Each structure stands twice: as C-alpha cells, then as structure tokens.
Amino acid sequence: MNFSIKGLAYNIVLFLLTLCATVTLLLANVGSIKKNKGVTSIFFLELNFSEDSFSELVPTVGSYLSTTENIYTFGMYGYCRGESDENESDEDETLYAVDFTVDSCTNPKPMYVFDPDEFIQAEVLNQTGYNLTDSEIELPTKIDNYVSTARNLSKATYITSCIAIGLNVITLIFTIVNFFIKPLFSVFAASVEMLAFIAAVLASGCSTGMFKYIQTSFNNSYSSYGIKAELSRNYLILTWLGTSLSAVVFIILAVNGCVGCCGPAFGRIDRRDVEKPSDVESSNIDSEKKETADSK
C-alpha cells in the first residue's frame, strides 16, 4: 500500500481536489444544454436585444420579428431564448441574467458550432417562416470575417473540454485506488492529469478568446442600437477554476510520484553506507578473538 505524504490525509485531499476539478469543468461544459435556471446561467455569450434592434442585423425582415424574446445565451450544446425582467438593471441582465426567464432552448447538439449567420437565419425562419440569405444579414465586418475561425474554435473548445473531463475522471479513479498501487502509478496518473490540464487550458483559452472577440465586435458596432453582448462570469469562473485545480492536482501527483519512486532508493543507499563501518568493526573483533584462541 502507498502511504506516502501522510497517507490517508493526502489521498483525501487529492480526491477532493480532483473531484472539484471534474465537477467545475463539467458544469462549464453543460451550460445552456436545457431549460433550467441553474444550467442556463452558465453560457459562453449572451446577446441582449432591445426593441426593434434586430432590424439592424436583418433590415429586410427585422420589423416583422417578435420582440418577446430579447435575450439569447450560447453554450456548447446550442442556445436558449428568453426575456429579462424589466425591474432589473441592464448590468444585472447582461452580466448575470439574474431574472432571465428561459422560454425555450434548441435541442442539445454535441459540438454545437456558434455561427452568427446560422443563428440569425434560424431565428428569422422560426418567427417568420422566411429563409434569409447570408447577403441579407449585416454582421460587423470583423465578425463576418471571423465566422470560419469561430467554427473551428467552437469545435476545438468542445473536444478539449470533453477530453479534460474524461482524463480528470481517470485521475479520480487513480486517487481512489491510490492506497493499493505502487508509486510508479502515481507518475502515470500525473502524466494523465498533465494532459487533462493542457486540454482544460486549450478549452478555456479558445472559448474565452473567441467570445471576447465576438463580444467586442458586437458592442463596438451595435451597442448604440441597443444590442449588447456579454460573456458569462459564471462560465469564466468555472472553466478557469477547473483548469487551475487540474494544475494543482498534476503538481501534487508529480511530486508524490518522484518522492515515491526515488526516495526509497536513496534511502537504501544511505543505509548501506551507514552499515559499512559496523561491518568492519565486527570483522576486526572476530579476527582478535581468533588470534587470542590461537595463542592459547
């Protein structure tokens, strides 16, 4: 059994840290997957439309669109539609969606790709039955040029997020059986967690960078028309907290693996060095006894 680094206390702490990393990354992953108050408060991006502001994006049919749903939140599996409480401040609505009432969500789709053109086309078709063409949508120039990049980054975010969660689950299993494995397996677990950390960094970095760029582009071009884009603080906290915890777990496992594998070997060498003088003294005593016996 492996009782290194305070044994039971070490394993409990490691288990809790790995569990927290897994849960936080999982919560960040499933945001906006269904119509649920807690889940829909975790998302990548929120688009907040004021009355008639949709017409700035689609001048040809914008005036025919419904204004009952003025907030859209986007996650890894699709997006949700809803409306905000008029009693809340704009800051509360855009930053926290405190009283964001979810009316509906799209069917969950693994590896959902955020494409502004497709989103607008789907909403116009849903409300008016009219099939928009790309040329009828007036997106900010920066976003229009960024669509293909956003599609690739959306896929990368989903894939690396799932990899990070899966590898953390594997590490979690290692922490449970840590008492019964050799120190060498701690090195293997550290390698797994290192990959989990790298995947989490990529997922967090891609999503944060991509949607921050989209947020800035929307706000610079359309904030004067009542269209606001905001990132979810809940998502940012969860994804970067999970990433940080993965790093901590990796460091702990790496240190424990090195101590477990190398420590005992050095200990044995030291003990052999200490035992040599006593062996010499014992040999000298035996020689003296033999000489005394011979003289008699």
| CA distances (Å), origin 74, targets 91, 93, 196, 237 | 18, 15, 24, 16
Ordered DSSP codes for 180-246: GS-HHHHHHHHHHHHHHHHHHHHHHHHHHHHHHHHHHHHHHHHGGGTEEEEE-HHHHHHHHHHHHHH
> What is the architecture of the domain spanning 7-295?
Up-down Bundle (1.20)
Residue 273's pLDDT is 45
User: What are the structural domain ranges in the chain?
Assistant: 7-295
Tens digit of pLDDT at every position of the chain (296 positions): 544 445 678 888 899 999 999 999 999 998 777 776 667 778 888 888 765 566 677 777 655 665 556 788 888 998 888 877 655 544 444 444 445 677 888 888 888 888 888 888 888 887 777 787 777 777 777 776 777 888 888 899 999 999 999 999 999 988 887 766 665 677 888 999 999 999 999 999 999 999 898 888 888 877 777 778 888 889 999 999 999 999 999 999 888 877 765 554 433 334 444 444 455 455 555 555 555 555 55
Residue 89's pLDDT is 46
Residue 19's pLDDT is 96
